[in-house]
Amino acid sequence: MHLVTQVERAFEPGGALARHWPAWEERAGQRDLAIEVARTLEHGGVLLAEAPTGVGKSLAYLLPAVLHVAATGERVVVATCTRSLQDQLFERDLPAVLGALGLSLPVALLKGKQNYVCPRALELASGDTPAERDLLGSLRAWAARDAIGDLDRFPNAEGEATRSLRARVATDPSACTAATCRRGRECFWVRARRRAAEASLVVVNHALLARAAEADGLLPAYDVLVVDEAHRLEGVLSSQLERSASRHRIEELLRLTGTFASGRRGTGLLSRLRGFTAPLLESNEARDRLVADLEQLSERADDLRRDADQLFTLFAADMPAGEGPYARRVRHRDAAELLGGDLQSLEVVLEHMRRHAVVLGRAAGLVQSAAAAGAASEELQGELENIANRWQRMGDDLALLVDADERDWAYWRSQGPRSRAAELHAAPVWVGEHARRLVRDGTRAAVLTSATLSAAGDFTWAAERLGLGEERGAPYASLSVPSPFPLERQMRAYVLDAGSDEAAAIADVVAALWHAARRNTLVLFTAHERLRRAHERLRTLLPPGAPLWAQDRDGPAGLLAERFRGERAAVLLGVQSLWEGVDFPGEALEVLVVARLPFSVPDDPVVEARAERLRERDLEPFRHDAVPEAVMRFRQGVGRLIRRSTDRGVLVVCDPRLARASYRGPFRAALPVEPQLWKDPQGLAREAGTFLEGISMEESP
């Protein structure tokens, strides 16, 4: 039986889904999406599928995926952006689909290496306080009885103490290899990869998927790829490909390398190397040379710190002063912009790094030739090779970032508000080539789905960013299903045009809405400085004791989101991470205020470099790239408001461009209702309060 037919039958009245869930109600969009996913899995190719909140995307792609695996034996990889959704798919959604179909398949969950506890690190870890020592005891007891070792499963995983301790007990993604650790049977990461290799359906996250494209063998070979939250894949790929150099990175390598024990207690690799290896070397000449090398590296540590401080401070010498508590980013195009004609400081630091790489590499060879070589010396040899390679990569990255000569990369310096030094960064202008490899290389079929993949129904922008399209040798089909909710009855939209002082206007309308409606209100900003000024004004406009929180100032986004869900008549001011990926159903969010249309900052290094490349193709960057990108972000932000069929809410956009700009069309098309233009915050608030109060009266018994 064809896969499409199987899916159609599962959705029929009396079919597998209705039999498993007595209260099952068919959603036309979900059925259409599942059928199109089945068609893609059966015939191959790439599908871009857009399905708004409430459609039920997870079931729509898991159902055909499970049926396909059962019929063909092909391996399917499902990738989602966040670990929390990854856990939900594996622990709740996938078992439900398998149960509805009466199937049993080998399935596995695989996260990044750093998400699993390292038995060796956990054994060596020590607590600085009684509370830390108690927590370590709990972690050790949990790890001894838990078969998975996923730190997200630890009972106190979200506690602040666990988060701070996590890096010390987790598997190190770069330092841990089979050569450096002989505890393969104990390793939770090794076990997880083994389960993935034996599974027919593997649930991963975007970050692991992106790393797998650059590291052979990280994931088992697969035939079908399903990417949920596909609108975030580009950003994850860019983050994974980004290269950087900083004082912090150098300090971390110095910590891993350690100090040489010479009449005092040494720490780290160098100390262990001398104590373990030197007595084993038969040749006095070899031993003397090793000891001399170790002494030289140990003596160089303070010199390297001083020289690196000088170099990274020099990088920041001409950076303009910034405002607020956030890092400044300044693009550079060559070494002259960073160092002028004097490259001496750079050469000194590069020589330090080269020397560390050479000495540690030579030491690894000497360990290999030690007379009493065994498992312990093999482990030490592997660790030496690993750290030597990391010093080499650090030097290569620093040289590359200073030269800044890759045409399709953007290079920049960033400097924190309280730092004298700058960090160097680089990222590709386009990640489409890398995304296309993920989707096309080695896969027969791929489905990329999200609530937002089109601008006014056009998938061209998202497809181009992901390297797809006929002209790139990667044709795709597309599908957009409508929302299952009666959004035109569930929400009202307003545009506020209240003067030139944006922060004051935003604060005034938020305060007016609070007094008129007393509902949970989320305010989304595009700039930290505007958030800060609006927050200061709101503190004077809202009564004492009113719940008012600002992202970062009052806590991280995740913690504030949890507090916000449990509060009523609260106001939460957010940026960036609160525009998407957070769920506030029902009374948890009834008023959404968007401070400005979310265009990228034009002088952001990557945005600026991308605009240059577009102009070279005779394309206008604003219309071709900036507008569709902003529409996507706008749709994500607006999507926070209505999460269920019973939700009601008010949207206020404090940006008159939504009413007047020549490019307002795709933004207006993203709204299910026509927005009303207001100049008076008080009048707008009364109108919004009347709508919300009317809804409340309709719902009351």
Q: Residues 610-625: pLDDT tens digits?
A: 999 999 999 999 999 9
Say if residue 367's pLDDT is above 80. Answer: no
| Same domain assignment for residues 312 and 459 | no
Query: Do strands 548-550 and 571-575 pair parallel, antiparallel, or not at all (unpaired)?
Result: parallel
Q: Give residue 260's region: left, alpha or beta (phi > 0; psi -120 to 50).
A: beta
Q: List pLDDT tens digits, range 477-505.
A: 999 999 999 999 999 999 999 777 888 99
| Same domain assignment for residues 57 and 142 | no
Q: Extract long-range pairs of 682-688: CB within 8 Å, 24+ residues apart.
A: 682/512, 684/494, 684/496, 684/509, 684/512, 684/513, 684/652, 685/509, 685/512, 685/513, 685/515, 685/516, 685/517, 686/516, 687/492, 687/494, 688/492, 688/494, 688/513, 688/516, 688/517, 688/591, 688/650, 688/652
DSSP one-letter code for 624: I
Give the pLDDT band of residue 177 (cuts 50, 70, 90): low
d(CA 271, CA 266): 5
| Same domain assignment for residues 440 and 393 | no
What pLDDT is recorded for position 275?
A: 66
| Same domain assignment for residues 465 and 416 | no
d(CA 67, CA 55): 20
Query: Looking at residue 214, which CATH number applies to its domain?
Result: 3.40.50.300
Q: List pLDDT tens digits, range 41-95.
A: 999 999 999 999 889 999 999 999 999 999 999 999 999 988 888 989 999 999 9
CB 578 within 8 A of CB 522: yes
d(CA 196, CA 437): 21
CB 73 within 8 A of CB 136: no
> Which percentage of the chain shows pLDDT scores above 70?
91
| Same domain assignment for residues 118 and 98 | no
Q: List pLDDT tens digits, range 455-480.
A: 878 899 999 999 999 999 899 999 99
Higher-confidence position of 37 and 265: 37
Q: List pLDDT tens digits, range 333-344.
A: 999 989 987 899
**β strands within 68-181, DSSP E:** 76-80, 107-109
Who contacts 349 (Cβ-Cβ below 8 Å, separation ≥6)?
304, 307, 308, 311, 398
Can you read off the two tokens belonging to residue 367? 């360990």
d(CA 383, CA 175): 7
Backbone angles phi, psi at 350, to 5 degrees: -60, -35
Give the strand order in the sheet containing 548-550: 548-550, 571-575, 521-525, 591-594, 649-653, 491-496, 676-678
| Same domain assignment for residues 567 and 527 | yes
Tracing tokens 């009052």 back to the chain, one arrives at 554
Task: Write out the residue range of the structural domain in which residue 50 sits.
Answer: 3-106+199-240+430-480
| Same domain assignment for residues 558 and 692 | yes
Chain mean position to CA 156: 22
| Same domain assignment for residues 329 and 466 | no
d(CA 64, CA 94): 12
Determine which helix (DSSP H) or strand (DSSP E) holds 582, and give its type and residue range.
none
What is the three-class DSSP state of 357? Answer: helix
Q: Is residue 33 part of a domain?
A: yes
Q: Is residue 190 part of a domain?
A: no
The per-residue pLDDT of the chain, averaged, comes to 88
CB 11 within 8 A of CB 443: no
CB 521 within 8 A of CB 538: no
Among 113, 96, 79, smallest CA distance to 16 is for: 96
Q: Is residue 608 part of a domain?
A: yes
d(CA 69, CA 254): 48
- Average pLDDT of span 404-410: 94
Backbone angles phi, psi at 343, to 5 degrees: -100, 10
Q: List pLDDT tens digits, range 628-662.
A: 999 999 999 999 999 888 899 999 999 999 999 99
d(CA 590, CA 642): 8
Higher-confidence position of 255 and 347: 347
CB 257 within 8 A of CB 268: yes
Residues composing the chain: 701
Higher-confidence position of 311 and 498: 311
| Same domain assignment for residues 630 and 650 | yes
- Average pLDDT of span 232-252: 93
Can you read off the two tokens belonging to residue 29? 């969009």
Q: List pLDDT tens digits, range 659-695.
A: 999 999 999 999 999 999 999 999 999 999 999 987 5
Question: What are 174's strand-pairing partners?
Answer: none
What pLDDT is recorded for position 200?
A: 96
Q: Is residue 11 part of a domain?
A: yes
Q: Is residue 188 part of a domain?
A: no
Higher-confidence position of 281 and 70: 70
Say if residue 280's pLDDT is above 70. Answer: no
Determine which helix (DSSP H) or strand (DSSP E) holds 210, and give its type and residue range.
helix 206-214
- Average pLDDT of span 208-221: 84
Give the pLDDT band of residue 345 (cuts 50, 70, 90): very high
Count up the domains in the chain and report the number: 4
CB 68 within 8 A of CB 200: no
- Average pLDDT of span 238-243: 93
Q: Is residue 215 part of a domain?
A: yes
CB 591 within 8 A of CB 519: yes
Q: List pLDDT tens digits, range 521-546.
A: 999 999 888 999 999 999 999 999 99
Can you read off the two tokens belonging to residue 259? 């100090």
What pLDDT is recorded for position 556?
A: 84
Q: Is residue 186 part of a domain?
A: no
User: Final residue of a domain: which of 441, 458, 480?
Assistant: 480
What pLDDT is recorded for position 234?
A: 94
What is the three-class DSSP state of 179? Answer: coil
Chain mean position to CA 191: 25
Can you read off the two tokens belonging to residue 430? 């386009």
Higher-confidence position of 175 and 385: 385
**β strands within 473-520, DSSP E:** 477-480, 491-496
| Same domain assignment for residues 434 and 548 | no
Say if residue 128's pLDDT is above 80. Answer: no
DSSP one-letter code for 99: H
| Same domain assignment for residues 507 and 366 | no
Query: Do strands 76-80 and 201-205 pair parallel, antiparallel, or not at all (unpaired)?
Result: parallel
| Same domain assignment for residues 87 and 14 | yes
Q: Is residue 597 part of a domain?
A: yes
Among 385, 355, 354, smallest CA distance to 368 is for: 385
DSSP one-letter code for 153: G
Who contacts 577 (Cβ-Cβ below 8 Å, separation ≥6)?
551, 557
Q: Give residue 149's region: left, alpha or beta (phi > 0; psi -120 to 50).
A: left
